[in-house]
Amino acid sequence: MRNRFSTQAVHGGEEKHKPYGALTTTIVQSSTFTFENSAEILDFMQCKAAGDRPVRDEYGRYSNPTQSTAERKLALLEGGERALLFASGMCAITTAMAALLSSGDHLVMINDCYHRTREFALTFLGRWGIETTLVPTAQSAALAAAIRHNTRLIFAETPSNPYLRVTNLPEIADLARQHNLLTMVDSTFATPINLRPLEHGIDLVVHSATKYLGGHNDLLAGTVIGSCAVLSQIEQARGVLGGISSPNDAYLLVRGLKTLDLRVQRQNENGTRVAQFLEGHPAIQRVYYPGLPSHPDYAVASRQMDGFGGVVTFEINGDAERTGRFIDRLRLPYIGPTLGGVESVVQQPAALLSLDPAERRKAGITDNLVRYALGIEDADDLIQDLSQALAGI
């Protein structure tokens, strides 16, 4: 019998009987794992040489028991054969791309994604002789036209940051299969609660586990999930590049995943209610939320997603100064660059990004744009707080 999602989140990937009779996953705070004798070392090395996954740990840069528990749980939640844990979401993305792409290869990327991901592709991969073509969201013809004889990978982020564009995943997967390409999707904003890209034919799903998966703003981690065959290449690169998660962060991630379903369901509810309130307010110019019929990808999101998430992006009627005054009047959210935790966090992207004004406009970041990442507070309190802040400007 296969357990349902909430049960998997609590129990999946964990040993029933843990060391010392502990109920929670043990933090194995060790960089080195010793052997009983030379014969055990020989068996271990023969196993590695044969390409089999060792049944024990050797050195902390390669694996750790606490990390392995988190990986098993992540794989179960996304429906993948295997998961790999990394020191951050960006570490997961960059290591995966470094493992799968070589000089002379070509990457196609949906352009409405995290600016650091674009920076890595355009700047660092470019230095290594790997060219990237950016394609707008929901432009099927442009995506197909971007594929070349040397294209190896299609990368997308859905929903995207900050405009919450939703990519049609079955369409990308079908196109990739026609050309024998790999596909990778950053599903951080969706979480496995709202979207499981592997079910739509995508090869690899990545998350910044720092966000919703951890859920408490107290860890840094990232993950790549997919088939054993592809992840074995990425695991080899992780062992060389060293971007491993710490045992303590892996433990915090296991703990956070246990309440993922409860937290995200509340954040879905808060996102929908706040988006509806803002869309009807005269001080708001526009709201971007895939659960609203006004969003350009509403139809795709309705078919593809089980919930629309806890991030609402919107534009104030006014300039940068008026937008800043609105944010300063809010009483409940913190001001900062993160999302996905139990506390609401708000930001004015134009104020936090280091891009100059011309570059911000090119990236579509307006001065009056606000990204509100909703926590698990009561929706009525969040709306009341928004109402008083808007009335005050």
Q: What is the torsional sign of CA 277, 279, 281, 285?
A: positive
Q: Which residues are catalytic?
A: 61, 114, 186, 211
| Residue 133: its H or E element | strand 131-135
Assigned fold of 261-391 = Aspartate Aminotransferase, domain 1 (3.90.1150)
- Per-residue pLDDT for 354 more than 60? no
**Average pLDDT, whole number, for the chain?**
94
Q: Is the pTM of this model over 0.85?
A: yes
Please give the CATH number for the structural domain made up of 5-28+64-257.
3.40.640.10
Under DSSP, is residue 372 helix (H, G, I), strand (E, B) or coil? strand
Reading the block at residue 133, the tokens are 């073509």
Reading the block at residue 74, the tokens are 């992540």
- pLDDT tens, residue by residue, 208-256: 999 999 999 999 999 999 999 999 999 999 999 999 999 999 999 999 9
- Between the alpha carbon of residue 220 and those of residues 117, 223, 250, 337, the distances in Å are 17, 11, 9, 14
In degrees, rounded to 5, the angle at the alpha carbon of residue 342 between the alpha carbons of residues 325 and 377 is 65
Q: What residues are paired with 131 via a beta bridge? A: 106
Buried (b) or exposed (e) across 317-350, using 16+ Cβ within 10 A?
Answer: ebebeebbebbeebebbeeeeebbbebbbbbbbb
What CA–CA distance (Å, rounded) separates 77 from 198? 11
For the chain, domain boundaries: 5-28+64-257, 261-391
The pLDDT of residue 1 is 54
- pLDDT tens, residue by residue, 155-205: 999 999 999 999 999 999 999 999 999 999 999 999 999 999 999 999 999
- Per-residue pLDDT for 392 more than 80? yes
Cis omega before residue 162 (within 30°)? Answer: yes
* pLDDT band at residue 356 using 50, 70 and 90 as cut-offs: low
What CA–CA distance (Å, rounded) separates 372 from 387? 14
The pLDDT of residue 150 is 98
* pLDDT band at residue 2 using 50, 70 and 90 as cut-offs: low
